[in-house]
Homo-oligomer: A and B are copies of this chain.
């Protein structure tokens, strides 16, 4: 489980439109459970696990099946508005994000996640292709560290390279 931290009850901290809109625009069925999951995600900020959503749902007395949460998450991931990321400790978490290609920086102080783009990385990959002979069709980059707010507070715990 990923820790609980929410900011404003419903607003999209990073300015995303409500997730449910994405489903709608993609021409997918808007069902009660889907809407519920979308809302639960919108109400969070930063990292969360499927279990977190289930817990939230229980707390709010919104009955949703486990499988449904995973299915909704898959769907949203496919649409690019939710991403599953790997944590330094080997665990997983989900995070809502923009559909455009980007990477995530995860703060190990507060769990906040920030999107980062990667012009420089693109160049780096081109370079790698050039001298290894590989064709790189995809990549995954995650950054771990501390956000400006946490930088001055408690020291970070170990993180892997």
User: Which residues of B are found within 8 Å of A88, using beta-carbon distances?
Assistant: 138, 140
Q: Chain A, interface size: which category?
A: 35 or more
User: Which of B86, B129, B132, B145 has a CB less than 8 Å from the CB of A137?
Assistant: B145
Q: Would B116 and A137 count as touching, CB distance under 8 A?
A: no
User: Which of B124, B139, B159 has a CB less than 8 Å from the CB of A124?
Assistant: B124
Q: Would B144 and A136 count as touching, CB distance under 8 A?
A: yes
The 0/1 profile, CB within 8 Å of B marked 1, for residues 105-123 of chain A is: 1011000001010101101
User: Which of B114, B128, B159 has a CB less than 8 Å from the CB of A138?
Assistant: B159
Q: Would B145 and A136 count as touching, CB distance under 8 A?
A: yes
Q: Would A134 and B146 count as touching, CB distance under 8 A?
A: yes
Among A84, A120, A143, A159, residue most surrounded by chain B Cβ atoms (within 10 Å):
A143
Bound-state CA distance A129–B148 (Å) is 10
User: Which of B101, B132, B142, B145 has a CB less than 8 Å from the CB of A135?
Assistant: B145
A31 interfacial by beta-carbon distance below 8 Å: no
